[in-house]
Chains A and B, each alone.
Chain A
């Protein structure tokens, strides 16, 4: 997935209304009228969001000139999510190693005084 495509995808996903539209479309295709119904928003405003989503390849519009139903393009959305999930996977693996290390440190620390960093500064008291 190219950087420009990811840019467009994430820019499109950054807006809560557009995410809500995608969530609705995940349940099946819908017309602009149907999509506008749950929002306190005019159809032209919803159409504007749909254009952004369409430009990002996240939705496609039907050919029927009257209805032009919108449908989710799941593959594009999945690519973006795979990309985030992979980053997450990398760090989650790291953090699992940290879990093990903290377990060891915790065990070694039991009964002794707490370690509070290596700055030599008084440090901040634990907030209650």
Chain B
């Protein structure tokens, strides 16, 4: 079910287990549009990436068994590639895909993205299951590793999960 507080808090990231991350966020658009924005290269190129990272390759074969591949170029010309295969495509409500970053040897992650629409807004929940803790930790460190940021709100949220 949708948690309305995402409207004001932006993206929520939780680590429900050693090998999983769950990202949740609400978008002010119907899910058909959000689904398109997540699956159409000409739209993906316009938003995917931050902090100087941008998609330079974006290939999507949107059908079960179809491949996808993204390459992002970042500051100093660094490149990072990742891709995988779509496992399940149920537009506009659900997308299941494997994901592997170039250089991983531990196997692919499985990403399940669900789009729930309510009153014209779309709650996205992406559950990423990594093959191991090491892989989860390494993907989080590249290319997003930056200096420490204000994080006490995250601490508060994590601790607040417990009654």
Residues of B near A100 (CB, < 8 A) are 47
Complex: A107 Cα to B17 Cα, angstroms? 40
Residues of B near A34 (CB, < 8 A) are none
Interface residues of A in 1-24 (CB under 8 A from B): 3, 6-7, 10-11, 13-14, 16, 19-20, 22-23
- Distance of A82 from chain B, by nearest CB (Å): 4
Residues of A near B28 (CB, < 8 A) are 99, 102-103, 106
Q: Say whether A41 faces chain B, with CB atoms less than 8 Å apart.
A: no
Q: A102: nearest residue on chain B (CB-CB)?
A: B29
Which DSSP category, helix, strand, loop or mixed, fits chain A's interface? helix
- Distance of B61 from chain A, by nearest CB (Å): 10
A81, A101, A103, A115: the one contacting B32 at CB < 8 Å is A115
Q: Say whether B93 faces chain A, with CB atoms less than 8 Å apart.
A: yes
Q: Say whether A124 faces chain B, with CB atoms less than 8 Å apart.
A: yes
Complex: A51 Cα to B39 Cα, angstroms? 46
Interface residues of B in 88-138 (CB under 8 A from A): 89-93, 117, 133-134, 137-138
Whether A81 contacts B155 in the complex (CB less than 8 A), given A92-B10, A118-B62, comes out as yes
- In this complex, how many residues of chain A approach chain B with their Cβ under 8 Å: the count is 52
- Distance of A3 from chain B, by nearest CB (Å): 5
Residues of B near A87 (CB, < 8 A) are 13, 21, 140, 144
Interface residues of B (CB under 8 A from A): 10-13, 15-18, 21, 23, 25, 27-37, 39-40, 43, 46-51, 62-63, 89-93, 117, 133-134, 137-138, 140-141, 144-146, 148-155, 158-163
Interface residues of A (CB under 8 A from B): 3, 6-7, 10-11, 13-14, 16, 19-20, 22-23, 26, 77-79, 81-95, 97-103, 105-106, 109, 114-119, 121, 123-124, 126-127
